[in-house]
Amino acid sequence: MKNVRVGLIGCGVISGIYLENAKKFNFYDIKACADLDLSRAKAMADKYDIQKAYSPEELIQDPDIDLVLNLTIPVAHAGITLQALKAGKHVYSEK
Protein backbone atom coordinates (compact mmCIF):
# COMPACT_ATOMS: atom_id res chain seq x y z
CA MET A 1 0.00 0.00 0.00
CA LYS A 2 1.35 3.43 -0.88
CA ASN A 3 1.43 6.27 1.60
CA VAL A 4 -1.30 8.90 1.46
CA ARG A 5 0.11 12.16 0.10
CA VAL A 6 -1.19 15.00 2.27
CA GLY A 7 -1.36 18.73 1.66
CA LEU A 8 -1.91 20.94 4.70
CA ILE A 9 -3.82 24.20 4.22
CA GLY A 10 -3.64 26.76 7.02
CA CYS A 11 -0.19 27.34 8.51
CA GLY A 12 -1.29 29.00 11.73
CA VAL A 13 -0.43 28.01 15.28
CA ILE A 14 -2.20 24.63 15.27
CA SER A 15 -0.39 23.45 12.17
CA GLY A 16 2.86 23.02 14.10
CA ILE A 17 1.54 20.15 16.20
CA TYR A 18 0.22 18.39 13.08
CA LEU A 19 3.55 18.79 11.31
CA GLU A 20 5.49 17.63 14.34
CA ASN A 21 3.28 14.59 14.95
CA ALA A 22 3.30 13.59 11.28
CA LYS A 23 6.82 12.29 11.81
CA LYS A 24 5.43 9.58 14.10
CA PHE A 25 3.33 7.89 11.42
CA ASN A 26 4.51 5.87 8.46
CA PHE A 27 1.30 5.66 6.39
CA TYR A 28 1.12 9.25 5.19
CA ASP A 29 3.49 11.97 4.06
CA ILE A 30 2.87 15.70 4.20
CA LYS A 31 4.07 16.77 0.78
CA ALA A 32 2.93 20.41 0.69
CA CYS A 33 1.62 23.20 2.83
CA ALA A 34 -0.36 26.27 1.88
CA ASP A 35 -1.61 29.49 3.40
CA LEU A 36 -3.15 32.73 2.17
CA ASP A 37 0.11 34.27 3.37
CA LEU A 38 2.65 32.48 1.14
CA SER A 39 5.55 33.55 3.37
CA ARG A 40 3.94 31.67 6.27
CA ALA A 41 3.58 28.55 4.11
CA LYS A 42 7.22 28.82 3.02
CA ALA A 43 8.38 29.23 6.62
CA MET A 44 6.54 26.09 7.72
CA ALA A 45 7.81 24.16 4.70
CA ASP A 46 11.38 25.14 5.58
CA LYS A 47 10.98 24.38 9.27
CA TYR A 48 9.46 20.92 8.72
CA ASP A 49 11.31 19.93 5.53
CA ILE A 50 8.20 19.91 3.34
CA GLN A 51 8.78 19.80 -0.40
CA LYS A 52 6.29 22.43 -1.58
CA ALA A 53 4.73 25.69 -0.36
CA TYR A 54 1.67 26.94 -2.20
CA SER A 55 -1.39 29.12 -2.20
CA PRO A 56 -4.45 27.09 -1.16
CA GLU A 57 -5.70 26.98 -4.76
CA GLU A 58 -2.36 25.66 -6.06
CA LEU A 59 -2.26 22.94 -3.43
CA ILE A 60 -5.81 21.83 -4.24
CA GLN A 61 -4.91 21.52 -7.93
CA ASP A 62 -1.70 19.55 -7.31
CA PRO A 63 -2.24 16.05 -8.76
CA ASP A 64 0.33 14.65 -6.30
CA ILE A 65 -1.91 15.45 -3.30
CA ASP A 66 -4.44 12.79 -2.24
CA LEU A 67 -5.81 14.36 0.93
CA VAL A 68 -6.21 17.96 2.09
CA LEU A 69 -5.73 18.60 5.80
CA ASN A 70 -7.85 21.72 6.30
CA LEU A 71 -6.65 23.82 9.24
CA THR A 72 -7.96 27.14 7.99
CA ILE A 73 -9.77 29.77 10.03
CA PRO A 74 -13.53 29.20 10.46
CA VAL A 75 -14.61 31.76 7.84
CA ALA A 76 -12.52 30.04 5.13
CA HIS A 77 -13.12 26.48 6.22
CA ALA A 78 -16.21 25.51 4.21
CA GLY A 79 -14.94 27.10 1.00
CA ILE A 80 -11.60 25.28 1.12
CA THR A 81 -13.29 21.98 1.91
CA LEU A 82 -15.73 22.33 -0.99
CA GLN A 83 -12.95 23.29 -3.42
CA ALA A 84 -10.89 20.28 -2.38
CA LEU A 85 -13.81 17.88 -2.68
CA LYS A 86 -14.72 19.25 -6.11
CA ALA A 87 -11.10 18.67 -7.17
CA GLY A 88 -11.42 15.01 -6.17
CA LYS A 89 -9.40 15.21 -2.97
CA HIS A 90 -10.13 13.55 0.33
CA VAL A 91 -10.46 16.08 3.16
CA TYR A 92 -9.75 15.93 6.88
CA SER A 93 -10.84 18.73 9.14
CA GLU A 94 -11.62 19.46 12.76
CA LYS A 95 -14.16 22.24 12.44
Looking at residue 39, its pLDDT comes to 97
pLDDT tier for residue 2 given thresholds of 50, 70 and 90: confident
pLDDT, one tens digit per residue, over 4-55 is: 999 999 999 999 999 999 989 999 999 999 999 999 999 999 999 999 999 9
Q: What is the pLDDT of residue 95?
A: 64
pLDDT at 86: 98
Confidence at residue 4, expressed as pLDDT on a 0 to 100 scale: 97
Nearby residues of 48 by Cβ (< 8 Å), 6 or more positions away: 19, 20, 22, 30, 33
